[in-house]
């Protein structure tokens, strides 16, 4: 019996060691970022395309106040409610004490400066594709934004989802650094893929998820239940969206559909961000949406 007890203890220790190994944070080597010169003017477009203010501005912020990234907006999910943190340049309550490498590890690897996993409410599954130069430009722009001393709100996530170490296993299961649209037929589609799959993280809302919150890439952009429980986020593949490229561009510019309906909800922020980009980028996104595999409408 004693030998059996020691064997069980040994197996438990081996299992725990394997768990720690499998779930450890694995940041990429971002040492080259500090050698890059960030351009704040170019960073403005990266900031808009990535939707940073849309999530991290204060609830109901308007006008220039949208650039005060105080956080506080709530995002309900099946796993709990997440609150966008303060990512203003405040050194105590924001990210003013970070480096560009720390920003890279956060938004591309989902790892905090303290070495803990971030919840995938931060769309690092998409941002992992962001180029080094875009990241440096984004950092240069964000450093010039107004600071806010508002503390970040803690997430409301219950056990066992609150155990951040488990997110290392989630990443092993569901993070995929391949492009969903493997082949871009033209430079325009390639640019649209970068904007849609990386910066604008369209798949985070428009793609259904499995029971553990992983994206179902086989139904990419095929529509999904709204995490708030209100309605459904639409299918924007050719199987669900029959708009022409010009109509998609118009929607991303003015917010008006071909039927003269107008954009609403969180998508209004997305349109506002897209409208601030060059028209060539909106056309690239339209070309990408025409190129993705069609998902049958439900």
User: How far is 271 from 252, CA to CA, in rounded Å?
Assistant: 5
CATH homologous superfamily of 31-174 equals Cytochrome c-like domain (1.10.760.10)
User: How far is 217 from 180, CA to CA, in rounded Å?
Assistant: 7
One digit per residue, pLDDT tens: the chain, 298 residues?
666 655 565 666 666 577 667 778 888 888 888 889 999 999 999 999 999 999 999 998 889 999 999 999 999 888 899 999 999 999 999 999 999 999 999 999 999 999 999 999 999 999 999 999 999 999 999 999 999 999 999 999 988 888 899 999 899 999 999 999 999 999 999 999 999 999 999 999 999 999 889 999 999 999 998 876 677 899 999 999 999 999 999 999 999 999 888 888 888 899 999 999 999 999 999 999 999 999 997 7
- Options 1.10.10, 1.20.120, 2.70.70, 1.10.760; CATH for 187-291 is 1.10.760
User: How far is 87 from 113, CA to CA, in rounded Å?
Assistant: 13
Equal CATH topology for 31-174 and 187-291: yes
- Domain residues of the chain, as ranges? 31-174, 187-291
Radius of gyration of the chain (CA): 20
- Alpha carbon separation from 214 to 79, 159, 170, 192, 239 (Å, rounded): 12, 19, 8, 23, 22
Q: Beta-strand (E) ranges in the chain? A: 74-77, 80-83, 224-225, 232-233
Q: Give helix 245-254 / helix 267-275 axis angle, nearest 10°.
A: 100
Question: Which helix (DSSP H) or strand (DSSP E) does residue 21 occupy?
Answer: helix 2-23
């Amino acid at each position: 019996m004693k030998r059996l007890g020691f064997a069980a203890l040994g197996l438990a220790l081996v299992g725990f060691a394997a768990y720690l190994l499998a779930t450890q944070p694995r940041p990429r080597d971002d040492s080259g970022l500090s050698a890059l010169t960030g351009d704040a003017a170019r960073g403005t477009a990266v900031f808009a395309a990535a939707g940073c203010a849309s999530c991290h501005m204060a609830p109901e912020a308007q006008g220039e106040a949208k650039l005060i990234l105080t956080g506080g907006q709530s995002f309900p999910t099946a796993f709990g409610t997440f609150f966008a943190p303060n990512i203003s340049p405040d050194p105590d309550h924001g990210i003013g004490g970070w480096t560009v490498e720390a920003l890279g590890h956060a938004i591309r690897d989902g790892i905090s400066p303290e070495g803990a996993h971030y919840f995938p409410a931060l769309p690092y599954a998409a941002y992992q594709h962001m180029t080094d130069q875009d990241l440096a430009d984004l950092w240069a722009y964000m450093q010039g934004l107004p600071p806010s001393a508002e503390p970040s709100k803690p997430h409301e996530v219950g056990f066992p989802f609150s155990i951040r170490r488990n997110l290392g296993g989630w990443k092993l299961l569901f993070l995929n650094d391949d492009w969903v649209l493997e082949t871009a037929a033209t430079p325009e589609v390639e640019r649209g893929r970068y904007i849609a799959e990386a910066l604008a993280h369209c798949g985070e809302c428009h793609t259904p998820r499995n029971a553990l919150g992983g994206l179902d890439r086989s139904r990419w952009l095929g529509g999904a239940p709204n995490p708030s429980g209100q309605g459904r986020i639409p299918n924007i593949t050719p199987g669900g969206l029959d708009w022409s490229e010009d109509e998609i561009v118009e929607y991303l510019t003015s917010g008006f559909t071909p039927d003269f309906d107008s954009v609403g909800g969180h998508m209004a922020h997305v349109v506002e961000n897209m409208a601030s980009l060059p028209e060539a980028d909106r056309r690239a996104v339209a070309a990408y949406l025409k190129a993705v595999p069609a998902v049958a409408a439900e």
